[in-house]
Amino acid sequence: MARSKSSHRWLREHFSDPFVKKAQAEGLRSRAAYKLEELIERDRLLKPGMTVVDLGAAPGGWSQYVRQAMGDRGVVVAMDILEMPGLAGVDFIHGDFRADDAVSRLDAALGGRAVDLVLSDMAPNMSGVDAVDQPRAMYLAELARDFAQDHLAPGGAFLTKLFQGEGFDAYVLDLKRRYSRVVIRKPAASRRRSNEVYALAQGKR
């Protein structure tokens, strides 16, 4: 099947992307690692020995960065509905975060540990129809928020991808009720034409 013009345009953009080239040169699994790197360094989110959960982890760029940044100390548990090749020091759970059995397996992997940092780069498969995509994206963000609420230690932090649109303002307002500090970030590695941003909530009440 011939590729559409939009597919060709995406491929040209992808392979000319400086962050894609940098990730390939540095042996990182995805350009998304640079989004996380900027956010973590700017807000000093990561310390050795932390317990970190990475939701929507495949292909593993965020988990890879966190594991390298913490060295041998700390725990990293990752989950995705897609398969992810193994990473040393990362406990990966293949499952749908929307399903209770998958969350139960995630809980078991944590072994009762309180979590210091919840990361969520989850996003639905985009149809290009805002009226469909935005509710799906907000639903995943709400699930991640609820997981963080139940599992974060007091003072813990939550970082999640959001798409600006219906439900965005109410979601951010809700985070402000749950955390002492909430900011919206747009990392340099996030493509300018994308309406994705990241909400960082620190100091779980």
List C-alpha distances in Å: 166 to 136, 169, 170: 11, 8, 9
Find out whether 10 is annotated in a ligand binding site: no
Residue 165, class by beta-carbon neighbours within 10 Å (0-12 exposed, 13-18 middle, 19+ buried)?
A: middle
Find out whether 150 is annotated in a ligand binding site: no
* Active-site residue, from 35, 161, 186, 204: 161
Find out whether 101 is annotated in a ligand binding site: no
Find out whether 74 is annotated in a ligand binding site: no
Half-sphere exposure of 85 (CA within 13 A, CB side): 6
Alpha-carbon span 68 to 188, nearest angstrom:
21
29 token code pair = 């699994």
Find out whether 60 is annotated in a ligand binding site: yes
Tokens 């998958």 locate to 102
Alpha-carbon span 158 to 177, nearest angstrom:
13
132 token code pair = 């469909």
Q: Is position 47 annotated as part of the catalytic site?
A: no
Residue 99: partners with Cβ closer than 8 Å, 6 or more residues away:
none
Q: What's phi and psi for 70, nearest 5 deg?
A: -90, -10
Q: Are 82 and 55 in contact (CB under 8 A)?
A: no
Catalytic residues: 161
Known binding-site positions for S-adenosyl-L-methionine? 60, 62, 80, 96, 121
Known binding-site positions? 60, 62, 80, 96, 121
